[in-house]
Structures are given as structure tokens and as C-alpha cells.
Amino acid sequence: MRWLWVLFGFILLGIGAVGLVLPLWPTTIFWIAAVFCLAESHPKVRDWIYSRPGVGPIVRDFVERGEISRKGKITAIGGMLLACILSGWLLRDSWIALSFLIGSIAIGILYVATRREPNPES
């Protein structure tokens, strides 16, 4: 079972790496999931992710303390709303799929909005 976590972790790491060069592709969420998959088996990879400028501190704040900055919340919620609008347009003929989409996005927005923000003094 452990090899499956490692496999998922490295797949998520690769998918997230695409976001470093492709605009609008999310890096942070994939690397957060990768850290959760690899934290025990590959601490060097976790530390490498944490040391990446820009995204590393964001991942560390969330993984270690469950915190998301105000800017991160705005960006994440904006991305979810954009995805909802684009996907909703594609699913406009299926009220069941559209309902599932809107409900899922609403849960994601609620989750992100209710996370603590990092203390600027720490």
C-alpha cells in the first residue's frame, strides 16, 4: 500500500509542476496533496517543495498549520468561481451535473473561506 502513496505523490508532484510553466494551471493544490502522500516516505521531497520560492511557504502553512493567507483565499475562490462558470456553461443542459458542480464548488469555497489566516508575527 505504501508504494501506492508514493506513486500518487510523485504523480501529483508532476501535475503540479506543470503549473510552474503553464499559466492558470494550479500548482499549490497538487503540491499540497503530494506532500500529504510523500511526507513520511520522502521527507527530502517534502523539504524540496517547502523550499520552492512562492509556492513553498504557502504549502507549508497549509500542511503544517491549516492556514491560508487572505491573498491565497481570494486566488483560490476566484479560480473555483472561474472553473464553475466555465464548467457550468458546458454542463448547462444537464441540471443534475450542474447541481453537482455548483454544490461541490460551494463546499470548496466554504472550506477555503473558513481556514485560519497565518499570523503575521510568526
Query: Could you report the per-residue pLDDT of 31-78, keeping only the tens digit for each?
Result: 999 999 998 888 899 999 999 998 899 999 999 999 999 999 999 999
Measure the CA–CA gap between 121 and 60, rounded to whole angstroms: 16
Closest CA to 77 of 105, 102, 104: 105
**For the chain, first and last CA: distance in Å?**
37
Please, are residues 38 and 46 in contact by the beta-carbon 8 Å criterion? yes
pTM assigned to the model: 0.79
Residue 82 lies in a domain: yes
Q: Are residues 22 and 60 in the same domain?
A: yes
Q: What is the pLDDT of residue 122?
A: 56
Burial class of residue 2, CB neighbours in 10 A (0-12, 13-18, 19+)? exposed
Residue 50: give the domain boundaries. 2-65
Identify the band that residue 9 occupies on the pLDDT scale cut at 50, 70 and 90: very high
Please tell me whether residues 59 and 74 are part of one structural domain. no
In a domain, 121, yes or no: no
Q: Would you say residue 54 lies in a domain?
A: yes
Assess whether 6 and 60 both reside in one domain: yes
11-29 pLDDT per residue, tens: 999 999 998 888 778 888 9
Segment 102-122, tens digit of pLDDT: 999 999 999 999 999 988 765
The count of domains in the chain is 2
Other CB atoms within 10 Å distance of the CB of residue 11: 14
Residue 98 lies in a domain: yes
